[in-house]
Each structure stands twice: as C-alpha cells, then as structure tokens.
Structure 1
C-alpha cells in the first residue's frame, strides 16, 4: 500500500499519451486522478471546481507556461510538482524551490518526488 493511497490529483499535461502514462503510474500508487487538463485555462477552472490534494504539472502546456496554475495552487496551499523535459532550468525562478522531476521518469521517481512535495506541506 502506497503512502499516497487515496490522494486526489490533478494532472496538467498537453500530450495525451504522456498524461495517460502519468495517470496510470499514479493509479498504481493508489492515487485518484480526479482531473486532467491539456490547457492552462482548463487547469485553472478545474482547481476552482474540483477537490484536489496535489498536482503534477508539465511546465510547457500547449505552448503556454504553467506558472499561473502553479501560482493558484501555491495560493491555495495545494502541493504540486513540475514534470518537465527542461529540467530545473525550465522552472521560473520563484518556483525553483518546488520539486521538479525530469522527463522521462520511472514510477519510483514520480512516487518519491510526489511524496516529498506532499510532506513539505
């Protein structure tokens, strides 16, 4: 049984195959992906309308940076991690203290980084 069992998550990822892979990994960890967004505007609406415990954010979502979503999550004190092919350098300076997982990543690394994010809140 995962320590993340029952955690309600938002996944923000514009590539459908990557989103499905991440969702499957999270489900294997016992998480419940309650919402998924392929656009920043959609993610912002979901944060307001959906009860979530944490989020996994791609940095570049359909050509738009995800930082407005990160700001909203930070304001609401909802933990999140960045999943990006750009590495920590792709994260805006004021978010560099937040966990970043480089793509591609194995499930074990996703679990470790997500647990770190949830524990810090």
Structure 2
C-alpha cells in the first residue's frame, strides 16, 4: 500500500489543479473545496477525450483522477500525467485499491467516498 503524505492545504493557494470526474455532484463539491482552498481548478473533465486533451497540453500543478469516466478507463490520462511528471491522486469508486497500487506505485488511491478536507490534505502532500 502506498504511503500517503498529508500537508497543510494552504499549499494549494495559487496552484492549478486538474479535476477529472464524471459525476457532476462530486465534481462540483471538489471544485468548490479546491477553490475555497485558493486553488485554480481546470475542468472538471467529464470524458476521457477531454481529460486526455487537457492532460497533454495544459499547465497543471497536480491532478485528481477518477479512474472510470462513464465506463471508459482513464489509464491513458494517468500515463500522460506520469510522463509529464505531474503528481496526481486517484479518487475512485471502481477498482480494487491493491490493483491500483500495483499499477501506479507511489500514487495515493482514495476510494470514494472520501471527506473533501482529507482529500485536500493528501493533494497538498503531493506538492
């Protein structure tokens, strides 16, 4: 299991966070929490195509990645972020945590539901 580091969410002030989430209510809650913490939110990307496009060309400090986007696996987005050395955490309701840990060593895996304040502290720990 990946060790999860937490930090003060004030680190998020002025940072650009890429949000990949297909469930509107969760995306809105996360966007609100991120913006309240002072982050600039890009997205949310609701589809794999949109997520891949922005992941390739966007200026991103970190990302929150849902692994199932309307039935499409978002592994290609994780690969792009990894190649670009952009830290990300996986926020998912699908997949086994141990499987995701094996596929993405060192990447925090948070299984929904997760308290948004805890998610912010873990995201800050990536930065």
TM-score, normalized by length of structure 2?
0.83
Hey, what does 1:31 align to over in structure 2?
Answer: 39
Higher relative contact order (CA 8 A, sep 6+): 2
**Gap regions ≥5 residues in structure 1:** none
User: RMSD in angstroms over aligned alpha carbons?
Assistant: 1.8
Hey, what does 1:48 align to over in structure 2?
Answer: 56
Hey, what does 1:103 align to over in structure 2?
Answer: 112
Hey, what does 1:8 align to over in structure 2?
Answer: 16
Is the CA contact 2:101–2:107 (under 8 Å) kept in the aligned structure 1? Answer: no
Q: Deviations over 1:51-107 (max 9, x none)?
A: 111110011111011111000000000110000124623526221420112211222
Is the CA contact 2:101–2:109 (under 8 Å) kept in the aligned structure 1? Answer: no
Whole-Å separation in 2 of the counterparts to 1:92 and 1:45: 25
TM-score, normalized by length of structure 1?
0.87
Hey, what does 1:116 align to over in structure 2?
Answer: 125
Whole-Å separation in 2 of the counterparts to 1:15 and 1:21: 10
**Gap regions ≥5 residues in structure 2:** 1-8
Is the CA contact 1:100–1:113 (under 8 Å) kept in the aligned structure 2? Answer: no
Whole-Å separation in 2 of the counterparts to 1:105 and 1:8: 21
Q: After the TM superposition, which of the residue ranges 103-112 and 19-28 deviates more from structure 2? A: 103-112
Whole-Å separation in 2 of the counterparts to 1:90 and 1:19: 24
- Between the two proteins, the alignment pairs up a number of residues equal to 118
